[in-house]
């Protein structure tokens, strides 16, 4: 099972059939970042993009991945260089690559983009433009003399390149897109506003322009289940007593924000990046150590995990002492449901 990503680079080959899980793997020996897919047990790895330090684009490890509805392509954010200036800001843009590792292409007009999200019809990508600059800069056509720190959600039509801005630019205001509803009418996102001094919160944006609604008082990375009836997300948990500290755990709620259920309770761990299997029966995610060490800060020693949507049969898919894993995403399409995990 743990053979998954314990090998080096994997050459492109024919796209395997059946359930597949895309994940970003970071390794220190040799150093590199790779976008790979594996089967439901972590085996049969196939590299789609990335590699060593000289590979371009560098795969952005903290930017979630997104599969096209037919499972033929995966979208990701890649770094192609750095802006000139003291802040040394990475230059990011979106890319798509086929499930067999071929046809790696940039998505035009997506400079500065992270977190691509395919629409249900596969014609549109939602994404987030994030800007963090201390020097004077121009954002949204306005000169920001004190610098700028904010994030706004956009969409791009993959056929025409036409773009649409969904949330406004404002210093201290951040929106991060994460999941379309199955009918394409709603986009889930994480909202955070420095002026309100509150927790990051999951929200549902109505794409007809009629506004948004808050799902919970706190939470991040909300994602719809395949049938749209449930939402998985991450919430911060404060532990008291001998094990006091802050963790982040997986939860599932009803699509209207009710029926909250905590899936796991591991002390001293951060659980991030939930992704639904196409059957709606299981979730993949990453578990990070909450230890305050340099290795833990870079995800070394973490694990690629899975759990049934009812909170049972939590199990490890892969881990490695010199590796880190990020942003798992289940491949979509007919015949790719992994089903329940058998304990």
What integer pLDDT is reported at residue 195 of this predicted model?
Answer: 87
Query: Mean pLDDT for each 10-residue chunk of the chain (343 residues)?
Result: 40 76 87 90 91 81 95 94 69 94 94 95 95 82 85 95 94 95 97 87 94 93 97 81 67 95 81 96 87 44 87 90 89 94 91
User: What is the rounded distance in angstroms from the CA atom of residue 193 to the CA atom of residue 208?
Assistant: 23
Nearest to 246 by CA among 201, 287, 291: 291
66 phi, psi to nearest 5 deg: -150, 130
What integer pLDDT is reported at residue 240 of this predicted model?
Answer: 52
* 154 close to 200: Cβ distance less than 8 angstroms: no
| CA dihedral over 32, 266, 257, 334, signed as positive or negative | positive
User: What is the rounded distance in angstroms from the CA atom of residue 170 to the CA atom of residue 155?
Assistant: 18
Q: Which residues share a beta bridge with 115?
A: none
The label of the residue with tokens 């590796």 reads: 323
Domain boundaries, the chain: 21-330
Predicted model pTM: 0.88
What integer pLDDT is reported at residue 179 of this predicted model?
Answer: 98
Q: For the domain bounded by 21-330, which CATH number is listed? A: 2.120.10.30
Distances (CA, A) of 15 to 28, 35, 101, 203: 27, 14, 8, 35
* 14 close to 332: Cβ distance less than 8 angstroms: no
What integer pLDDT is reported at residue 9 of this predicted model?
Answer: 41
């Amino acid at each position: 099972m743990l053979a998954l990503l314990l090998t080096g680079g994997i050459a492109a080959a024919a796209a395997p059939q059946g359930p597949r899980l895309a994940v970003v793997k970071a390794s220190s020996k040799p150093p590199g970042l790779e976008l790979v897919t594996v089967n439901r047990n972590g085996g049969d790895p196939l590299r789609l993009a990335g590699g060593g330090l000289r590979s371009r684009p560098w795969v952005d490890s903290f930017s979630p991945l997104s599969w096209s509805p037919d499972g033929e392509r995966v979208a990701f954010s890649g770094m192609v260089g750095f802006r000139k200036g003291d802040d040394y800001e990475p230059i990011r843009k979106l890319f798509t690559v086929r499930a067999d590792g071929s046809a790696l292409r940039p998505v035009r007009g997506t400079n500065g983009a992270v977190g691509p999200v395919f629409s249900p019809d596969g014609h549109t990508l939602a994404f987030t433009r994030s800007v963090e600059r201390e020097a004077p800069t121009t954002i949204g056509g306005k000169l920001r003399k004190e610098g700028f720190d904010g994030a706004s959600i956009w969409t791009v039509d993959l056929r025409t390149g036409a773009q649409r801005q969904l949330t406004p630019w404002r210093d201290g205001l951040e929106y991060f897109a994460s999941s379309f509803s199955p009918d394409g009418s709603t986009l889930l996102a994480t909202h955070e506003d420095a002026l309100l001094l509150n927790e990051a919160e999951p929200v549902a944006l109505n794409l007809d322009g009629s506004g948004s609604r808050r799902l919970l008082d706190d939470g991040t990375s909300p994602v719809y289940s395949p049938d749209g009836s449930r939402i998985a997300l991450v919430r911060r948990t404060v532990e008291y007593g001998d094990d006091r500290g802050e963790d982040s755990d997986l939860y599932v709620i009803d699509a209207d924000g009710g029926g909250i259920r905590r899936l796991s309770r591991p002390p001293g761990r951060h659980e991030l990046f939930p992704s639904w299997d196409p059957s709606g029966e299981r979730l993949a995610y990453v578990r990070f150590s909450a230890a305050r060490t340099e290795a833990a800060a870079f995800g070394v020693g973490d694990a690629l995990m899975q759990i049934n949507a009812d909170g049972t049969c939590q199990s490890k898919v892969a881990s490695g002492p010199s590796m880190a894993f990020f942003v798992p995403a289940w491949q979509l399409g007919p015949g790719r449901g992994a089903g329940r995990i058998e304990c």
